[in-house]
Amino acid sequence: MKLQNRILLILVLTFVCAFSILEYTQFQNTKKNVLESMRQEAKNIRSLLMSTRRIYHQQFLDSEIPLNEKTLGFLPAHALSRISEDFKNWTDYPLSFNNVSERPRNPGNAADALENEAIEFFRKNRKSTERFVPYESKEGEEFYHFSTPIYTEKYCIKCHGRLESAPLPVRKLYTEAFDYKVGELRGIMSIKLPASRVNTLAWQHFKVDFLIQLLSFLFLFFILNWLLRHYITKPLATLDTGLQNIGAGEYTQPLESLNGELSTIDGSFEQMAAKLSEREEELKAKSNQQTAINTILEIAQRNIPVEEQLKSILDTLLSNIWLHAQARGAIYLVKEGSRALTLTVQEGYADEILKSCATVPFGECLCGRAAETGTVIFADSLDERHNITYDGIKPHGHYCVPIKSEHQVLGVLNLYMNEGHKRDKNHEEYLIAVTNAIAALLERNRQRKSIEESRDRFDLALKGADLGTWDWDLVTGKVVFNERWAGMLGYDLDEIEPNLEAWKRLIHPDDLSFVEKVLNDHLEGKTAFYATEHRMRSKSGEWVWILDTGKVFERDRNGRPLRAVGTYLDITERKNMEERLKTISLTDDLTGLYNRRGFFTLAAHQIKVSYRQKRGIYLLYADLDNLKEINDTYGHNEGDYAITDFSQILKASYRASDVVARLGGDEFAVIPVGREGDVLEKVIERLQRGIEEFNKKSSRVYKLSVSTGVALYDPASPCSLDDLVVEADKMMYREKRRKKEIKKEIK
């Protein structure tokens, strides 16, 4: 799928999710607003009823109408239940209202179970002025109950005070509802409203809002789509093309102009490409240096004349595409006892050059200047220094590199370059390393000294590449190492025994079997080269990562290896960087525990081990209680402190070998490696004690609490890691629900 289509798909999914969430939220808000409107309506009805009740009550008292069974119905408190019943004859709206009491004088004012709950609520919550709760009728219909307290007022005491102080008609008619005091709760105003109206009105509002917001979302979607294509998708596609070019090694390909904020990336991208190009060139240089040295070591083992060895080396250089050299070049050697260069081997020389450049005095032309000064001479064209020429000579440049042994010039390597070729530091370092190797080769062939002396000269060639060497005689079993090989491990050369067993003893036990297999495969002719990355113990006891490469250069008639030569390169820094990157990707930044990715990586391994060993393991799933309340009440910084505090308790409760991780938010997981069931219970108890001790000593404004769940992985009935986590999670939530039920019972 193209980048643009992926972004468009993500945009569509984001819009759909956002729109769905918005509409759901809007519907809930609309429903909430309608409910609040209904609540306000109930408050208005209550205000009307209470004001009517009070005025008519006082009017009844002020008019001194005699109170008897016939006039009793004029009292608002008695008439209100009858008014509520008659109200149903005037409207289809199933609303009911009444003033009720737990000690009514009129049976029509007796509180039902729901109203008694409200009376009890106001008795316990004197400051509350209203109560609005949903309930379901006996018929299964949903209603909302709105209630407000009715407190005894001063004028009420006349009829509801002490029995002996009440008017005679009241004493004759009633035996209930006496002994009230001013301000005492006497009952409630009860209003019951149907819940069906809430959903009806909410849905009507929702349909209108849905259409408006849908059109707005579509318009916004098309605008964002255009903006994304213009300012993000197109620039990202440009960046993708640039990254593909970098992946293909095309570091010089410029980016198209980027739009908007991404326009600042142009320069940074060019700088990154330039740095990558430089780094790749450096890596190529190192690789080419090591390859060239290995090749020269192989050539040096051949029982052929020195001219043939030099010709093979020259052919190797000219075939190296990385150098960008023409298929022309030569190696000159210093004529013994003179200050002149003699053409020894060449490739692609014209007849005129073969004649005029057969002998070149020191200081003459470019090659002579390199021999004279002992430095690299570079030319990007036929300049005034190129004083040996002929008619029809084609434009070109040169690298003339002196072949030196210590301070003595032994010859010059001459390569032809295309005109305009730019001088390259990596190329020069590579050619210097090659000429150093050639110098060592010349010294060995000229002087025919012992293997140790010859190896000293090869060390000069390897010095620039920072490589150690080894030479293994498989017939005698003797292995000759150079000083750099020993120095990589902190040893002096005389501290290393010259045999294979000494080498094996230094290899990390976990790497030895693999290294031996790779080496044996090469000795048996199954691979062209021997190459491994493994750890070796240094003199200080530290482990050093080594890139070990080599090749068998001599075999007998039956193909049995007789001699192998190779190199060593210290790659510890690269390995450490890889390990640091791996650790960062598996660790939670806040707590230092494993993150979700680290947990699933290590837990999957433990499950495999458990299955292989037929031994069960446990997974402990822990959830920090009340983290949301801590965040909402004290802030997210305090929430982070709660998480880190609990992480420290976990670290103290478990071993370093156990897998302890924070999966995200307030969720943690632990696999106690090698724990048995009875031991696991003790560890859980230790965890709870750790929390209790922390809460006793802590100055935090809250107390830590955790819910845990445990699941067993049984090799006899294996399951996936995901299923194991789900099971532990269920156990944890079962405990969390149990805590809530206990808390509710306590309340």
Over 315-364, what HEC string results?
HHHHCCHHHCEEEEEEEEEECCCCCEEEEEEEECCCHHHHHHCCEEECCC
Report which of 538, 532, 529 is spatially closest to residue 514, judged by C-alpha positions: 532
Rg (CA), the chain: 47
pLDDT above 60: residue 464: no
User: SS in 3 state form for 691-717?
Assistant: HHHHHHHCCCCCCCCEEEEEEEECCCC
Phi-psi sector, 655: left (phi>0), alpha (psi -120 to 50), beta:
beta
Q: How confident is the model at residue 377 (pLDDT cuts 50, 70, 90)?
A: very high
pLDDT above 70: residue 80: yes
pLDDT above 50: residue 553: yes
Distance CA 445, CA 71 (A): 140
Distance CA 499, CA 474 (A): 10
**pLDDT of amino acid 177:** 81
Distance CA 662, CA 642 (A): 13
pLDDT above 80: residue 645: yes
**pLDDT of amino acid 632:** 92
pLDDT, mean of residues 338-347: 92
Distance CA 590, CA 637 (A): 11
Q: Give the tokens for residue 55.
A: 């005025």
Which residues have CB under 8 Å from 737's CB, separation 6+? none
User: Model-level pTM?
Assistant: 0.33
pLDDT in tens, 115-162: 999 999 999 999 999 999 999 888 888 889 999 999 988 878 878 888
Express as a percent the part of the chain with pLDDT over 70: 88
**pLDDT of amino acid 165:** 81
Q: Which residue has the higher pLDDT, 263 or 532?
A: 532
Q: How confident is the model at residue 352 (pLDDT cuts 50, 70, 90)?
A: confident
Collapsing DSSP states into helix, strand and coil, what is residue 379? Answer: strand
Q: Give the tokens for residue 183.
A: 């301000």
pLDDT in tens, 674-710: 655 446 677 788 888 899 999 998 888 889 999 999 9
CA dihedral 289, 293, 294, 298 (to 10 degrees): 150
pLDDT above 70: residue 607: yes
Q: Which of 57-66, 499-508, 716-725 has the lowest mean pLDDT?
A: 57-66
Q: Which of 240-244, 410-414, 729-733, 738-742 has the lowest mean pLDDT?
A: 240-244
pLDDT above 80: residue 306: yes
pLDDT in tens, 25-37: 877 887 788 888 8
Considering the chain, what is the average pLDDT of its residues?
Answer: 84
Distance CA 166, CA 158 (A): 6
Confirm if 434 and 420 have CB atoms less than 8 A apart.
Answer: no
**pLDDT of amino acid 447:** 63
Confirm if 660 and 670 have CB atoms less than 8 A apart.
Answer: yes
pLDDT above 70: residue 740: yes
pLDDT in tens, 236-254: 677 777 777 766 666 566 6
DSSP classification of residue 476: T
